[in-house]
A = this chain, B = another copy of it.
Amino acid sequence: MTGMVDELRTPALLVEAGALEANLATMSAALPGERLRPHIKAHKCTALAARQYAAGHHGFTCATVREVEGMVAAGLGEDLMLANEVLDTRRLGALVADGARVTLAVDSAETVAAAADGGLREVIIDVNVGLPRCGCPPDRAGALAGLARERGLRVRGVMGYEGHLMMATPAAEQVRLTEEAMKLLLAAHADVGGDLVSAGGTGTYAVNTWATEIQAGSYALMDTAYGSLGLPFAQALSVLGTVISVSDGWAVADVGLKSLGMDHGNPSIAGAAVWFCSDEHITFAPEVPGSVRVGDRVRVLPAHVDPTVAMHEAMYLVDGQQVLERWPVDLRGW
A residues with a Cβ closer than 8 A to B are 9-11, 41, 63-64, 84-88, 107-108, 110-111, 128, 132-135, 137, 163, 242, 244-250, 252, 254, 257-259, 261-263, 275, 277-281, 283, 294-295, 304, 306-307, 310-311, 313, 333-334
Contacts and interface: CB of A to CB of B under 8 A. Distances in A.
Given A245-B108, A294-B110, A313-B333, A132 B250 contact: yes
Given A85-B244, A245-B108, A252-B133, A64 B277 contact: no
Contact of A107 (B110, B242, B245, B311): B245
A68 to B, nearest CB: 13
A278 B163 contact: yes
Given A257-B307, A262-B261, A333-B313, A88 B9 contact: yes
Main secondary structure of the interface of A (DSSP, over half): loop
A165 to B, nearest CB: 14
A87 B252 CA distance: 13
A86 to B, nearest CB: 7
A22 B85 CA distance: 38
Given A257-B263, A257-B306, 15 more contacts: A9-B334, A41-B280, A85-B244, A85-B245, A85-B252, A87-B295, A111-B245, A133-B278, A134-B244, A137-B247, A137-B248, A254-B334, A257-B307, A279-B306, A310-B311
